[in-house]
Structure 1
Amino acid sequence: MKVTLDLAKLVEDGHLTAAEAERLKGFAAQGTGQTAMNILVGFGVVAVSLGVMGMVPQPVVAVVLGALLASVGFGFILQGQKTWSILANICLLTGCLMLAAGVMFMTKGSPIALLAITAILIGGGIAAKSGLLIALAVLCLSAAIGARTSYAHATYFIGVRQPLLTVLLFSGLALAAYQASLRLAADHARLAITAARTSLLLVNLGFWIGTLWGDRLTWLSDQFDPSRYWLSVPAVVFSLVWAAALVATGLWAARANRPWVLNVVAVFGAIHFYTQWFAKLGPNPFSVMIAGLITLALAIGIWKYNQGKTIPA
């Protein structure tokens, strides 16, 4: 966990002695004079790579350049070059993203390719200790089982084609990642928590879509043909199980002092409530007013709970 402290203010307020403040300064990262150089070189490398891609807009170019950038960044990391650590992370992060995008375009987003991209992002995320790459890896895994996003003019879409599989898969992943975080060193534990949190969001999205449409389980090859299914799960089952899961997870989060989880549960609990509320009562003035009052009560409850919770969990 990273904490930002104003040492001068703490000394001024009497919370630290001058000697303690100097001791804490000694733990600060050294070589900050190299930061600007790292960032400038990193941006220059990225800009040149993007320029080459712009002149030769082919997926294979993205794959080649991405692999080169990732290799350079990974090489610096393996050599333990702390002086160029920021440059290494920029190259590795950009390279993994370019490589993943190139592979996706070349294969038109096939499930096998998406699984390969997931592996690339996980490897890059662990090497660079990048929570962004780990989160993208989890999202890429969801795409491998049919999750999609799209955009039209002033309209955004989220698609979860296999809600039940999404709930089961990412519930297991969230639990496994959380358990791993309890046994890993701090840097890797942070990555495991990122994977668990992203998985938890996907679990709730899967439940949400399930409460609206239910689910008809198909094989991946048949996911665009709703008539070819082997099991049907009605929407009411998703509604009941989601409500029970939210309550159970909320109780665990409160007892285990996990504010982030409890806030997510509160948000999706409200989404679940309003989805069912308006589906049954419709958007009339009375239902809107009552929903607003409940929202205010929920917001006050979250605010009260979050007071004094300074540790993100």
Structure 2
Amino acid sequence: MKITLDLDILVAEGKLTSSEAERLKTHAAADTGQLAINVLLGLGAAAVAVGVGVLIPSLETVIALGAVLFVAGFVMRIARVEQWSVFAQIIMVIGALALGGGLFALFGEQLWVRVALTLGLAVAGVVAASGLLVSISVLAFAATITIDADLWTPTHYLAAAIGSLSLLTLVLYIASLRLPPAYERLAIIAMRTAILLVNVAFFIGSVFGDEFLGWSGLYFAIAWALALLAFGTWAVFANRRWVVNTVAVFGAVHFFTQWFMALGAQPFSILGGGLLLIGFGLALARFNRWASARKALRA
């Protein structure tokens, strides 16, 4: 577990001696140097892959390079080589994007291929304990249910997307309550990604509606407002600060989308919107202070 501490403040408060602080700074410097090496190696591997792709431009090249990078990073993650963990994470994600993107471009018109890619990313993310891969798998799931592979355009089946992603959010939340800490973290990352995508789908629906069902944006605007209200209320009582902040941000996005759609972009509407945004920000800051104080009292 990683914890961030201000050593200077701890020394000033007498909770840490100067010699102990210097020893900890030495460890931090070593970690920083290793991180820099990992990042440089990751960027170098990415540059080499791009160079090979430019020299041999084809989807097969992209797939092959993606497979090599993904397998190399995956093996290092499985082996738990801590000093190369960041490098492994970088090349594994680059490889997954290249491999998945290449296969999707070649065979994406077949539904089973898209489903297999989504499941493969999810399984790889769990096995390698990679939050990025798990998050990408949720994005792949959203693409699978919202992209018409024959036309390569959005299907606008927004109601189905919202329902599917909401169900996935619920399943992941229930799973996170029953999983050990390492896998709980992955479930929460995937759940948060799904929550963001649900709100994006609601936003698109509130502006453009759903062509498949023939629903206007008003239906989505009302449903989004009710969902945000219900979800935000639950999050406050459950002390889920990330959810509260997310609901507040998308609540503001929803409000101002409808505000400017109704009033237009004129001086008074912009002024009023700015004042309201400041009020929302102050209210959110006050909630965060209250939540922090409540958590400190419990501790």
1:255 aligns with 2:232: no
Matches for 1:26-105 after TM superposition, within 5 Å = 35=35, 38-105=38-105
Q: Distance in 2 between matches of 1:278 and 1:37?
A: 48
Cα-Cα RMSD:
3.4
What is the match of residue 107 of structure 2?
Answer: 107
Contact 1:59 1:106 in 2 (8 A): yes
Report the Cα distance in structure 2 between the residues aligned to 1:24 and 1:47, rounded to whole angstroms: 35
Q: Which moved more, 1:265-274 or 1:31-40?
A: 31-40
SS at match of 1:139: helix
Give the structure 2 partner of residue 10 of structure 1. Answer: 10
Percent sequence identity over matched residues? 42
SS in 1 for 2:133: helix
Q: CA deviation at 1:253?
A: 1.3
Unaligned residue ranges in structure 2 (runs of 5+) = 294-299
Task: Name which of 197, 204, 207 aligns with 1:202.
Answer: 197
Per-residue CA distance 1:24-47 (angstroms, 9 max, x = gap): 89x989988755554454444333
Equivalent residues in 2 for 1:148-297 (5 A)?
A: 161-217=156-212, 231-297=213-279
Paired residues of 1:53 and 1:62 also in contact (CA < 8 A): yes
Partner Cα separation in structure 2 for residue 50 and residue 300 of structure 1: 46
C-alpha contact (below 8 Å) 1:111/1:145 kept by paired residues: no
- 1:123 maps to 123
Per the alignment, do residues 76 and 14 of structure 1 end up closer, same or farther by CA in structure 2, a change over 3 Å counting?
same
Per-residue deviation, residues 199-256 of structure 1 (Å, max 9, x unmatched): 1111112222222333244xxxxxxxxxxxxx44443332222111111111111112
The worse-fitting range, judged by mean Cα deviation, of 10-19 and 85-94 is: 10-19
CA distance in 2, matches of 1:10, 1:109: 59
- Name the structure 2 match of 1:298: 280
d(CA) in 2 for partners of 1:270 and 1:34?
A: 41
Q: Deviation of residue 305 (structure 1)?
A: 1.6
Structure 1 window deviating more from structure 2 (36-45 vs 52-61): it is: 36-45
Q: Secondary structure of the residue that 2:57 maps to in structure 1?
A: coil
Q: Is the 8 A contact 2:156 2:211 kept in 1?
A: no
- Check whether the contact 2:38–2:86 (CA below 8 A) recurs between aligned residues: yes
TM-score between both structures, scaled by the size of structure 1: 0.77
Q: Cα gap change, 1:90/1:275 in structure 2, threshold over 3 Å: closer, same or farther?
A: closer
1:2–1:233 distance in 2 versus 1, CA, 3 Å: farther
* Cα 1:90–1:15 shift into 2, 3 Å: same
Alpha carbons of structure 1 residues 36 and 214: separation in structure 2 relative to 1, 3 Å: closer
- Sort the Cα spacing of 1:259 and 1:109 in 2 relative to 1 into closer, same or farther, 3 A: farther
Letter of the 2:68 counterpart: L
Q: In structure 2, how many angstroms separate the alpha carbons of the residues matched to 1:199 and 1:68?
A: 29
